Amino acid sequence: MYQDEYKRWLEADLVDFDLKQELQTIADDDEAIKERFAVALKFGTAGLRGTLGAGTNRMNIWVVRQATQGVADWVKTQGGTQTVAISYDSRLKGWNFARDAAGVLAANGIKVRIYDELMPVPALSFATRYYNCNAGIMITASHNPAKYNGYKAYGPDGCQMTDDAAAIVYDAIQKTDVLTGAKYMSFAEGVEKGLIQFVDDACKAALYEAIEARQVRPGLCSTAGLKLVYSPLNGTGLVPVTKVLTDIGITDITIVPEQEYPNGYFTTCSYPNPEIFDALKLGLEWAEKTGADLMLATDPDADRVGIAMKCPDGTYELVSGNEMGVLLLDYICAGRIEKGTMPKNPVAVESIVSTPLAEAVAEHYGVELRHTLTGFKWIGDQIARLEADGEVDRFIFGFEESYGYLAGPYVRDKDAIIGSMLICEMAAYYRSIGSSIKERLEEIYAQYGRYLNKVDSYEFPGLSGMDKMAGIMADLRKDAPKEFAGHAVVKVTDYEDTASTGLPKANVLRYDLDDGAVIIVRPSGTEPKIKTYFTTKGKDLAEAQAEKDALTEAIKPILS
């Protein structure tokens, strides 16, 4: 079966020379053919993501066209403007995939608004809403290594597509032959017919205006003298992030030269993810060289931002996504109360795998903290509910532990542009009062307790990886652990049981232990890995870390 499909591809006019060459290279390698053709990339709420290359189990123009035909079939049932917004980041083949998606939509009579240059996830979410589109498409593999690309689909609200819509699109994809089933016209023809238009300057300006309107202390940055090192990690952040920072008065910015311009090969870091040290290493070297107050980096599609803060002794320390989420929540609340801009009955939102420390901070400021499933679309859903009730201004902040932040309802996905702006404003504020981010974080720990939040990942590569992950989760449900590292499990929460959680169904298990520690086990929705999230609390960091290490050793055999 897979050999037949391979031969069909080999004999087809694939347009892309790289694909044809790859197919010829694997002619005598049954395992390589099987790996590319035995299955197809599955379209879900996160869209598609996979290794670049030839075959149904790879990212290429044919798989992109097939997916876009599925999106087009769904859009045609939706009425409205019959328009789709498209953006793409710096990944290899990104512009090719974006252009081909536009060609499929145009051939289906659907209008397209596409960015004329690479732009990040928040810009796509914003354009989708700005033009009242039926859908949006973002060509990106987020922070994956260079060999990956992906395809994120968005609904009319600027959130990633709902489960129901994604299921309909997937059904349409399955009825579309990958090589011959998608309608298609060239990009040039689509432009000539007026079906494909570029996103205009008014839309871009409106995005920057919406972000800059969310400053907590406007005007502060122009006099604070903040010294910054910034890395776009060879992605989309350079133009939007530096524009907003310059607009609000932060001008002493050193861009990491090796990571300044778009480069889909990501030659300076194998994994362009601001959550990991290797991606920030060059930036840290520049921070030490320049004596910067702060070093920050955004991932290729600029929806996540990671930082290193300067400590009183002159060294630099990485800040986790949970710590930054808590710092920003604290800063926004205190600042808006001080400025008289805090709305009545304010709402903040965090994912279920994010830190309980946020609950203590929210309670301190009288803010309602809501919990959602992992995936920023669920935070977007909470904003949409407030909007439906005419109370969207109540939303002040949302975050996930994976370095995603949003303050304001102008988009419905995480936004590293506003994240960068608020982090820099916060750093400038603490600098202006003779303090620092590091000192404020220590004050928070002293006030609420020394929490530690850590994430471990267990990878399951290959065709059997997903089956193995499913087996592990099934075993955990069938025979729930009674204790971890000598601490009894006092409560098990299974997020597949919607009646007990009040949330949509999710393949997530939570274990509350007798000393207040928490372990959460969750298969990734986009990669073949299971993630374990640990929350421990001690009298100091060493005590919290010791328990985390013991819990890691206890769960390892279960996930191996």
Q: What is the CA radius of gyration of the chain?
A: 24
500 as an active site residue: the answer is no
Q: At what angle do helices 61-75 and 94-107 cross, to 10 degrees?
A: 40
First to last CA, the chain: 32
Report the C-alpha gap between 322 and 489 in whole angstroms.
24
Which sign does the torsion angle of CA 362, 368, 374, 380 carry? negative
Report the C-alpha gap between 57 and 480 in whole angstroms.
34
Residue of 87, 90, 125, 142 marked active site:
142
Q: Tokens for 394?
A: 């109540």
Which sign does the torsion angle of CA 155, 160, 163, 167 carry? positive
- According to DSSP, the residues that pair with 471 across neighbouring strands are none
8 Å CB contact between 435 and 337: no
Report the C-alpha gap between 81 and 112 in whole angstroms.
10
Burial of 277 (0-12, 13-18, 19+ CB in 10 A): exposed
Rounded to the nearest 5°, which phi and psi values hold at 296? -135, 155
DSSP state of 199: P
- The number of C-alpha atoms within 13 Å of 458 and in the hemisphere containing its C-beta is 21
Beta-sheet strands, E only, within 38-165: 48-51, 83-88, 111-114, 135-139, 148-154
The helix/strand/coil state of 148 is strand
Report the C-alpha gap between 82 and 264 in whole angstroms.
32
Phi-psi region of 171 (alpha: psi -120 to 50; beta: other; left: phi over 0): alpha
The three-state DSSP-derived secondary structure of 412-448 is CCCCHHHHHHHHHHHHHHHHHCCCCHHHHHHHHHHHH
Report the C-alpha gap between 43 and 73 in whole angstroms.
14
Q: Tokens for 288?
A: 């030490």
* Residues with a known catalytic role: 142
